[in-house]
Amino acid sequence: MPQTSSAQPGTGPKPAVRADHPGVTELFALLAYGEVAAFYRLTEEARMAPNLAGRISMASMAAAEMRHYELLRDALAERNVDVVPAMTKYAPALENYHRLTTPSTWLEALVKTYIGDALAADFYLEIADALPEEAAGVVRSVLAETGHSQFVVAEVRDAVTASDRQRHRLALWSRRLLGEAITQAQFVLADRDELVDLVLTGSDGLLQLAEFFERLQRTHASRMQELGLA
């Protein structure tokens, strides 16, 4: 996942969550399944690339997702938690998101890679500001590789500059990604009290979930501008 949130390590408030908070384990498990799901999504969507360079870029991102999964697996093991049963309960929401946002073209796959993953990164990184140092370090390490998805920006901007039709189509697609991401995040939080408690114990910007989701929409708008979709 790309780290495109404005949140920066060390700039948030002091950790307000104790190290043994059950929400930390749930957050690691949610992230772990997200990494596995992203790996399979990227390997499938790499086949849509029109050239070898695109396939290699997607494959590199997929490989990074599995490295991140292994980091989370080890972090859960240190907490005496088996990663597979812990993360499996998050499969329905994440798989539903991917099912509802299956791209039909290479450009849609690129936009989903850039915007969809960045929305998730916003959520996790803001929570990280309130985590104990060790747990926050795990989350930031998982989201730290920023270069892999940058190839998306140039390719999408070139395509939408050349075609108003593509720009309109991809702008609608981008808004759909935002809507589905927020919907599935709300489903996850509704089912997991530990995660809700973790979020509400976090930084001041997360004290109200409604405000947080509004902020997601604002950062989404800036990314649409970056891609030439606004």
CATH code assigned at 124: 1.20.1260.10
The answer to whether residue 9 is domain-embedded is no
Q: Which of 8-12, 142-146, 150-154 has the lowest mean pLDDT?
A: 8-12
Token pair recorded at residue 174: 């981008």
Q: What is the C-alpha R_g of the chain?
A: 17
From residue 45, give the alpha-carbon distance in Å to each of 60, 99, 110, 176: 13, 13, 9, 18
Is a pLDDT exceeding 60 seen at residue 10?
no
Q: Is residue 2 part of a domain?
A: no
Q: What is the pLDDT of residues 83-141, one digit of tens each?
A: 999 999 999 988 988 899 999 999 999 999 888 778 878 778 777 777 888 898 999 88
Q: Does any domain span residue 136?
A: yes
What DSSP string runs through 4-58?
Answer: -SS--TT-SPPP-S-TT-HHHHHHHHHHHHHHHHHHHHHHHHGGG-SSHHHHHHH
pLDDT at 203 over 70: no
Residue 163 domain-assigned (yes or no): yes
Distance, CA of 193 to chain centre: 21
- Our count of domains for the chain comes to 1
Integer Cα distance of 88 and 50 in angstroms? 34
pLDDT given at position 172 = 95
The pLDDT value given to residue 147? 56
Q: Is residue 3 part of a domain?
A: no
10 Å CB burial of residue 117 (0-12, 13-18, 19+) is buried
Residue whose tokens read 């697996």: 73
Q: From CA 81, how far away is CA 92, in angstroms rounded?
A: 20
Q: Residue 78 is part of which domain span?
A: 22-226
State the pLDDT at residue 169. Answer: 95
Question: Does residue 12 form part of some domain?
Answer: no
Rounded CA-CA distance 101/178 in Å is 10
Phi, then psi, of 102 in degrees rounded to 5: -70, 120
The answer to whether residue 109 sits within a structural domain is yes
Q: Which residue has the tokens 């360079």?
A: 53
Phi, psi of 56 (to 5 degrees): -65, -40
Model confidence pLDDT, tens digit, residues 17-66: 788 888 899 999 999 999 999 899 999 999 999 999 999 989 988 998 99
Tokens 């920023």 label which residue? 146
Does residue 14 lie in a domain region?
no
The larger pLDDT score, comparing residue 210 to residue 156, is at: 156
